[in-house]
Structure formats: structure tokens, C-alpha cells
Amino acid sequence: RVEGSEEDGEAPVPVTALTTLFSYGLLFAFGHFRDFFRRILDAGKSSNLKGYAPICLGYEDFYTRRLYLRIQDCFGRPIASAPDAWFDVVERHSNDGNKTLQRTTKTSKCLNLGSYNYLGFAAADEYCTPRVIESLKKYSASTCSARVDGGNTKLHTELEELVARFVGKPAAILFGMGYVTNSAIIPILIGKGGLIVSDSLNHISIVNGARGSGATVRVFQHNNPAHLEDVLREQIAGGQPRTHRPWKKIIVIVEGIYSMEGELCNLPEIMAVCKKYKAYTYLDEAHSIGAVGKTGRGVCELLGVDPADVDIMMGTFTKSFGSCGGYIAASKEIIHHLKHACPAHIYATSMSPPAVQQVISAIKVVLGEDGSNRGISGRI
């Protein structure tokens, strides 16, 4: 750690800030200028959706139309191979100034520093892929029904037990998509009359889940246990807004590794604060499960926190395990309640069986149960 580098990195140099703002202001002004002339030129034309309000009113899509379209070719680049260490990026060209992009058949081989392939399970793997293909032939690509109807196969029950054992909790429940896991679970755990205290840089799935639950949401400064304590004290003393009744329950939501900043969570101090004020903790380990910790068990192992202290641990299989879906691991009573009350479990199609098999095989490799020592010998 270089002295003073952290402070220098936080705030930009004034010259840089000024020039950036100037360029942005220039693009902004130019965009408005063009909009003005477009409105004059189009005043005579009539569109066939007369009388309907447009999909985007006013300046709602100003950024998309005038700024994003110029650099659209940097985003959404298609690839023509597995997202492995080296992959083929498909080249695109545009005839109308980046408004639309057409694919070509040319590809260029690039070093992949962009995908979430933390452990290397994204491409065909010697242990996982034969088993995945076998399960595909046996169970087919999808079960076409919800878990409670006819979508619960032996693989699903096996994976739930394996995940619970891997993470260190008594039981677990699976979902087909990580985003849905957060936005469908949080409303079940807490409702009106409860308080959610979430980190200011939490992922949008958590924000959506918190909003959908109907509970009051308060934000604490990123990774700052002192501020969290202040917020908790103020809220518990004040009670619910307007009526000042005591809160029904308080859940504090943090993430293991924050996806935008790449920082670790300050878990031991936050856990201490939550225990002191009797708040429940919800840890979202989407990026950290499988990737950190001596045996890949996540942030708890890395920072020396007992998994039994965290009330609910959530994670996804998309990143480290090269599959899709999410899980929640908690005590047996909570999982039992979730299995009976969560709409995403009762109405949504269950996880695809080959994807389940991929996670089972990947966890077995990481734990060393596949017969080789790829997991223990530090593949990470």
C-alpha cells in the first residue's frame, strides 16, 4: 500500500474533472441542438400512432438517443465460442452511424478479461461436461413445471443438500435465476411494519426486492459499521414513521463482494453491530461464493465469520460455477417457510436439470470429491 494513494484515487484531479464535464456538456448541448431541429423538421410528418402518448416522453430517452448511440458498438458484443480464457468476438459493422449494427461472419480471437468465469467452469470441462450431457439425455432440457407440481427431480434435492453442506448451513432452496431469488425472497421475509437497512451500493435485485416488500428502507454508507450503528439506534429509538410503534423486525442486507466496486464487505464488524441490536442479517454472495476463501466457501471463510451467525445466505451459480440459478441457505425452519410461501418457488419453472448437474459436478470438484485434487491444489 502506497502512502496517500487511496486518498488520491478517490477524488479526481481538478483538470480531469473539468475537461470531462466540459466534454459531457458539449455533447449534451449538441444533442439538444439536434433535438430542436429534429422537432422543427418533423412537425409536418405524422406518425401512424396518432393520439397515443409516445413510449418515452420528453427527455426520458435523451441519453440513449444522443449519447449512447455514438458508442453503442462497445456494448453487447456477441461472441461465437464459450466464454473461456480465449474466446472469439464477432465483428459488427454499421451503415448508418451506429444506429443499427449488423453481424459479420468474421471473428477475432481475444483474451477474455470480461466474463464472470472465476473458476474456469464456463467451457467444456473434463469432469463436468460428460455428466451434464448424461443428465440432459436422462431428464431433458427442462421440466416444464414448477418445483411443487412436477419439476422436482432427484438432482434438485441432491443439489440442495450439497449446497447446504458446502456453505455450512442446515438447509437450502434453489431458484432458476439469481435476480428472481432476491426480488422474490425479501418480500416473504419482511413486510409492512418492518425495516430494511441496506448498503448504499447494493445490487438492483435487492433494491427491487426491498421495494416490493412494502417495508421501510433505510440506507447506510457503504461498508461503514459506525454509520450502520447510528442508523440502527436512531430507527429503533424512533420506531415506525408517523405512528412510532416499535418495528416488527429489522433486516440488514449486505453483499460479500460488491460487483461494481470489487470491494469486500466489512463483515465481522457489521455482524457485531447486528448482533448487538438484534437485527437479522442477509448476505448476498453472488460474486464471492466459490471465488474467495481457502476452500472456496465464500466471504465467511475468508474473514473468519461463523456461517451460523449470518441468518440468511444467498448466492448465485452464474459466476463461479458456470451455470445459472441462485440459492438461499438458512435454518431448516426458514427454508421450510420459504418452500411453502415463496411465489417464485410455487409458480416458476424449476431450474433446468443439466444446469443443476453442472453445479453439482463443479462443487464436487471444488470440494475434492471427484477423485482428483484439482480443487484442493489451488485452481483459483
Partner 1 sequence: MDMALPIVNATTAALARVSAAFNAPLARAVVFGVHIDGHLVVEGLLIAVIVFQLSRKSYKPPKKPLSEKEVDELCDEWEPEPLCPPVKERSHIDPAILESAAGPHTTIEGKEVVNFASANYLGLIGNEKLIDSCVGSLEKYGVGSCGPRGFYGTIDVHLDCEAKIANFLGTPDSILYSYGISTIFSVIPAFCKKGDIIVADEGVHWAVQNGLYLSRSTVVYFKHNDMASLASTLEKLTRGNKRTEKIRRYIVVESIYQNSGQIAPLDEIVKLKEKYLFRVILEESHSFGVLGKSGRGLAEHYGVPIDKIDIITAGMGNALATDGGFCTGSARVVDHQRLSSAGYVFSASLPPYLASAAVSAVNYLEENPSVLANLRSNVALLHTG
Contacting partner 1 within 140-199 (CB under 8 A) = 140-145, 147-154, 157, 176-180, 183, 189
Q: Which of 91, 168, 280, 303 binds partner 1 (CB under 8 A)?
A: 280
Q: Which of 346, 330, 301 is nearest to 175 (CA)?
A: 346
Q: Which of 204, 226, 272, 376 binds partner 1 (CB under 8 A)?
A: 204
The one-letter amino acid at 289: I
Identify which range of 2-10, 24-32, 218-226, 342-350 contacts partner 1 by CB under 8 A: 342-350
Output the smallest distance, CB 39 to partner 1, in A. Answer: 14
Q: Between 32 and 103, name the residue whose CB sits nearer to partner 1.
A: 103
Output the smallest distance, CB 245 to partner 1, in A. Answer: 11
CA distance 301 to 293: 5
* Residue that the C-alpha cell 451506429 belongs to: 98
Whether 305 contacts 162, CB under 8 Å: no
Output the smallest distance, CB 14 to partner 1, in A. Answer: 31
Footprint (CB under 8 A) of partner 1, residues 345-364: 347-349, 352, 354-355, 358
Q: Between 279 and 299, name the residue whose CB sits nearer to partner 1.
A: 279
Q: Is 194 helix (H, G, I), strand (E, B) or coil?
A: coil
Residue 91 CA neighbour count, 13 Å, CB half = 8
Output the smallest distance, CB 379 to partner 1, in A. Answer: 16
Grid cell digits, residue 48: 401512424
The answer to whether 129 contacts partner 1 (rule: CB under 8 A) is yes
CA distance 344 to 205: 14
The answer to whether 137 contacts partner 1 (rule: CB under 8 A) is yes
Q: Which of 124, 272, 308, 376 binds partner 1 (CB under 8 A)?
A: 124
Torsion angle of the four alpha carbons 166, 170, 176, 179, in this order, in degrees rounded to the nearest 10: -90
CA distance 82 to 313: 30
Q: Between 167 and 207, name the residue whose CB sits nearer to partner 1.
A: 207
CA distance 3 to 375: 37
Footprint (CB under 8 A) of partner 1, residues 68-97: 68, 75-84, 87, 89-90
Footprint (CB under 8 A) of partner 1, residues 295-314: 311-312
Residue 187 CA neighbour count, 13 Å, CB half = 16
The answer to whether 115 contacts partner 1 (rule: CB under 8 A) is yes
> CB-based contacts of 264: which residues, under 8 Å, 6+ apart?
256, 257, 288, 292, 299, 302, 303
CA distance 146 to 61: 38
Footprint (CB under 8 A) of partner 1, residues 7-36: none
Cα-Cα end-to-end distance for the chain: 24
Output the smallest distance, CB 117 to partner 1, in A. Answer: 5
CA distance 310 to 283: 7
Output the smallest distance, CB 188 to partner 1, in A. Answer: 9
Q: Which of 36, 246, 308, 376 binds partner 1 (CB under 8 A)?
A: 246
Identify which range of 27-35, 217-225, 315-323, 365-373 contacts partner 1 by CB under 8 A: 315-323
Identify which range of 20-28, 163-171, 261-269, 334-342 contacts partner 1 by CB under 8 A: 334-342
Q: Which of 18, 33, 343, 373 binds partner 1 (CB under 8 A)?
A: 343
Q: Which of 66, 128, 252, 290 binds partner 1 (CB under 8 A)?
A: 128
Angle (deg, nearest 10), helices 154-167 and 353-367: 30
Beta 195-199 vs 102-111: how paired, if at all?
unpaired
Total binding residues for partner 1 by CB under 8 A? 107
